[in-house]
Amino acid sequence: MIRMTFAALALLAACTEGDPAGLTEAGIAHDWSLVTLNGQAFAGRATLDLTEAGRAAGQAPCNRYFGARAGALPEFRLTGIGATRMACADLSAEDDFLKALGAVQAAALEEGRLVLTGPGEVRLEFALAAQ
């Protein structure tokens, strides 16, 4: 618990809105939980693990997924996204999430949250995952 609190405080201190210095590989190398997708609260469970350089992985509402990261921040792209193939009641939400991840082109840190954006209204907002 103390480790999580310290990590969260350090991230928040480094990543205040408008502070581009916080947007570094080390600054985003955490486990994140999806809060909103395209401006709407996300009811399902979705995570994004950026702890391994050049890689991304996580849990979509139904399946585990993985992919490669490309671009020098603030550019942020996920390529070669793959996922396991288990069925569940949230496949529609999973499809929306994975399509949005595939469209992401940029990353930002806003008020301690990781925000990934793409063309149109693509916007995924993540909070630090509880440890």
In sequence order, the β-bridge partners of residue 127 are 33
**Domain spans, the chain:** 2-128
CATH code for residues 2-128: 2.40.128.270
Q: What is the pLDDT of residue 131?
A: 65
On whether the CB atoms of residues 112 and 101 are closer than 8 A, the answer is no
Residues in the chain, pLDDT under 50 = 1-21
Tokens of 129: 């995952």
The rounded Cα 48 to chain-centroid distance in angstroms is 5
Q: 3-state DSSP call for residue 49?
A: strand
Q: What is the pTM of this model?
A: 0.81
Q: What is the pLDDT of residues 17-33, one digit of tens each?
A: 444 447 899 999 999 99
Start-to-end CA distance of the chain, whole Å, equals 8
